[in-house]
Amino acid sequence: MEYTNLGRSGLSVSRLCLGTMNFGPETDEATSHSIMDAALGHEINFFDTANRYGGGEGNFGKTEEIIGRWFAKGGGRREKVVLATKLFGPMDPWPNNKGVSALNIRRACDASLKRLQTDYIDLYQMHHIDRSTPWEEVWQAMEVLVAQGKILYVGSSNFAGWNLAQAQAEAKSRNFMGLVSEQSIYNLIVRDIEREVIPAARNLGIGIIPWSPLNGGILGGVIKKERDSSRRLVSRSKEALDARRPQIEAYETFCEGLGHEPADVALAWLLAQPAVTAPIIGPRTMDQLTQSLKALDVHLSADNLATLDEIFPGYKTAPEDYAW
């Protein structure tokens, strides 16, 4: 396993991040525990979750509980893991149990710690920008958690470039480290963050953690699976594929020429992007975890990367993307 620093921090994380959103709603607890054990066996030390994961209303927090019971098995599990979780979305109908107000930051962190059966969170992430809460309130609350030893680092998710800049300016004025990571949707098809989020993140020393690296499976060899009748697409995925079928056909042909599976190439492309810390893989099964590891052995040349840009054109840094 390769490791890198999380943004400008001194924290070492694996180049693949184990996403746990499927633990509970898609993957039973025993299998989830086996997948986490296998991830550690493959030296993946970076695990990502969120307080709302678990299967919808009435099940919020179930994924954190599954992870907590896995930690409780001991064997150095907690000590080996760089644990990331998130807060933002409402956990119940009460008005203050959402967002990133100082009150919810305190309550949500304590609740996550209890479910996770740990006394600290390595990376505490805001799952979305909260436009109703001033940054001085956010950072004051986060500083308290750091001082209490409940969290070590702070990250964001689904922020715009100017949100990152604003957050860091306020943090700097308080002599606080601020954000070390930003979790955004990023893959060969969805490359919007190349305009402003990635330039801002690189300038500020914020590591990018891409979610949906296969764009809902569209980059995972769907045409071949469709042809082999090994996978029947649901209507939404079929619509997404039909809208890009020529692109995906060209992509899968290119991957076949490389001798690699499309999913491995999609992950390898992200690993080749200078701003990326670790793409999030979200296996439902052990086989999916094992398959994802193969991306680490895919090395794309400059010509390969140029061909992928031809198939899936990206964006220039703003303002050059839309101006001279």
Closest CA to 39 of 85, 86, 1: 1
The single residue listed with the structure tokens 């690993």 is: 271
Q: Which of 3, 53, 120, 153 is catalytic?
A: 53
Which of helix, strand or coil describes residue 55? coil
Q: Minimal CA–CA distance to 179: which of 8, 300, 42?
A: 8
Alpha helices in the chain (DSSP H): 29-41, 62-71, 77-80, 102-116, 135-148, 161-173, 197-204, 222-227, 235-243, 245-258, 262-271, 286-293, 302-311
- Upstream peptide bond of 283 is cis (omega within 30 degrees of 0): no
SS3 133: coil
Structural element, H or E, at residue 121? strand 121-126
Catalytic, 3? Answer no
C-alpha distances out from residue 73 to 77, 92, 283, Å: 8, 30, 21
Print burial letters for 284-306: b (CB count within 10 Å at least 16), e (below 16). Answer: beeebbebbbebbebebeeebee
Residue 105, both tokens: 């930051």
Active site residues: 53
